[in-house]
């Protein structure tokens, strides 16, 4: 097979010139993630072009922008938390189950008695509590994150089922329901999207502009070196799983607002969606590098794909096949651009 040799391939063949590109973890500067973000923006632009070309009337419409951003907000908040955990070299498989547990706990008849504050408080505290258990097991119990959070996934789903008894818990608190309908939009922006934006900005500041963020990257890059440098690695890990739990709690509240209910099947496979979004965003699965902007772009890519498919009335089978292909294509394009850009 003869193919045109791209600059990237040429660099690879050159040998030494390509080396820096292959060891991104060693590169502390934010350059590489930024380049990746740029290429992901390109992917998003292509998607927008496809959407605009196939369904101009429905796709290029402010109500569609509201729709895409709203659908992205729940999984987006979860992904911000996940990005921190992955950056530190960990993984949190329990996010979907925590969202389910927090959303059903926050919508029991007993909780609804306490109104808006009760629902918000319960969702956030249940999320934090699950994160605390994860963090303690991993940081101080010496358990592998994969196993500890897998155990949490099973138990939290079980507890959610026990609370609901398999029933759909419908929310009757008007102040909560009102947050999800157009009357509550601020300058055309749904409150859910505002929360998503705030979580994104806070997450970005935390990761890029604070000691906490630098410690997270250090722990993920090389935990032993971080320990020798005086970082309390265990406490840092505890905080990170707490943070992920907190994000799940917030996401659970958003989901309650969005769907007007709590159900033990909520948050199905969020762990995979969040991990996939973070990875195509440019966060390194092995830790040491993370980008909030990339993760959010990753979430937007997925939500936009779903949106375009639905608007074009493609069925589930085609959607799934195409989604897999697009993920592979997005990652390939991105790696190529990143390689070119870095040199």
Q: How far is CA 109 from CA 28, 72, 170, 201, 262, in A?
A: 50, 28, 9, 34, 11
Nearer to other proteins, 208 or 268 (CB): 268
Nearer to other proteins, 89 or 190 (CB): 190
Q: Quick one: which H or E segment has residue 6?
A: none
Minimum CB separation from other proteins for residue 261, in Å?
Answer: 5
Minimum CB separation from other proteins for residue 255, in Å?
Answer: 7
Nearer to other proteins, 109 or 187 (CB): 109
Q: Which two structure tokens, joined as six digits, stand for 279?
A: 């990875």
Minimum CB separation from other proteins for residue 314, in Å?
Answer: 9
Minimum CB separation from other proteins for residue 269, in Å?
Answer: 10
Nearer to other proteins, 57 or 224 (CB): 57
Cβ burial of 46 (10 Å; 0-12, 13-18, 19+) is middle
Nearer to other proteins, 35 or 133 (CB): 133
DSSP string, 256-311: HHHHSEE-TTTTTTHHHHHHHHHHHHT--TTSS---HHHHHHHHHHHHHHHHHHHH
Minimum CB separation from other proteins for residue 95, in Å?
Answer: 14
Minimum CB separation from other proteins for residue 66, in Å?
Answer: 9
Nearer to other proteins, 204 or 253 (CB): 253
- Site residues, other proteins (CB under 8 A): 55, 57-58, 61, 63-64, 67, 70-71, 105, 108-111, 114, 118, 122, 125-126, 129, 161, 163-170, 180-182, 255, 258-261, 263-268, 306-307, 310-313, 315-317
- Distance between CA atoms of 248 and 85, rounded to whole angstroms? 13
Minimum CB separation from other proteins for residue 124, in Å?
Answer: 10
- Give every CB contact of residue 127 below 8 A, 6+ residues apart in sequence: 98, 99, 102, 245, 246, 247, 248, 249, 250, 251, 252
Nearer to other proteins, 271 or 288 (CB): 271
Q: Torsions phi, psi of 53, nearest 5?
A: -75, -40
**R_g (Cα) of the chain, nearest Å:** 21
- Distance between CA atoms of 162 and 157, rounded to whole angstroms? 9
Q: Which two structure tokens, joined as six digits, stand for 77?
A: 């908040």
Expressed in percent and rounded to 5, the helix, strand and coil fractions of the chain are 75, 0, 20
Minimum CB separation from other proteins for residue 115, in Å?
Answer: 12
Nearer to other proteins, 159 or 276 (CB): 159
Neighbours of 167 (CB within 10 A): 11
- Distance between CA atoms of 95 and 334, rounded to whole angstroms? 27
Nearer to other proteins, 32 or 55 (CB): 55
Minimum CB separation from other proteins for residue 122, in Å?
Answer: 6
- Which residues sit opposite 186 in a β-bridge? 189
- Which residues sit opposite 229 in a β-bridge? none
């Amino acid at each position: 097979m003869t193919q045109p040799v791209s600059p990237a391939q040429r660099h690879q063949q050159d040998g030494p010139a390509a080396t820096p590109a292959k060891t991104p973890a060693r590169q502390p500067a934010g350059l590489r993630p930024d380049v990746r973000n740029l290429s992901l923006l390109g992917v998003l632009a292509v998607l927008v072009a496809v959407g605009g070309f196939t369904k101009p009337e429905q796709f290029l419409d402010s109500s569609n922008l509201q729709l895409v951003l709203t659908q992205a907000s729940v999984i987006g908040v979860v992904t911000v938390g996940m990005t921190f955990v992955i950056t530190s070299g960990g993984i949190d498989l329990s996010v979907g189950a925590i969202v389910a547990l927090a959303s059903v706990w926050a919508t029991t008849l007993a909780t609804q008695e306490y109104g808006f504050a009760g629902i918000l408080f319960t969702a956030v505290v249940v999320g934090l509590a699950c994160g605390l258990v994860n963090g303690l097991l991993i940081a101080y119990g010496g358990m592998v994150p994969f196993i500890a959070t897998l155990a949490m996934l099973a138990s939290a789903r079980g507890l959610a089922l026990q609370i609901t008894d398999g029933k759909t818990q419908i929310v009757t608190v008007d102040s909560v329901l009102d947050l999800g309908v157009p009357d509550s939009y601020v300058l055309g922006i749904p409150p859910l999207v505002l929360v998503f934006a705030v979580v994104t900005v806070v997450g970005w500041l935390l990761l890029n502009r604070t000691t906490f963020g630098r410690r997270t990257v250090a722990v993920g890059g090389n935990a032993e070196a971080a320990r020798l440098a005086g970082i309390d690695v265990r406490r840092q890990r505890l905080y990170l799983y707490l943070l992920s739990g907190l994000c799940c709690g917030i996401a659970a509240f958003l989901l309650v607002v969005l769907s007007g209910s709590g159900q033990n099947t909520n948050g199905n496979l969020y762990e995979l969606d969040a991990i996939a979004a973070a990875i195509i965003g440019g966060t390194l699965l092995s830790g040491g590098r993370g980008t909030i902007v990339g993760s959010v772009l990753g979430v937007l890519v997925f939500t936009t794909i779903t949106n375009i498919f639905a608007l074009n009335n493609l069925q589930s089978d085609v959607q799934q096949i195409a989604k897999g292909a697009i993920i592979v294509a997005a990652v390939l394009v991105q790696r190529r651009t990143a390689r070119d850009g870095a040199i």
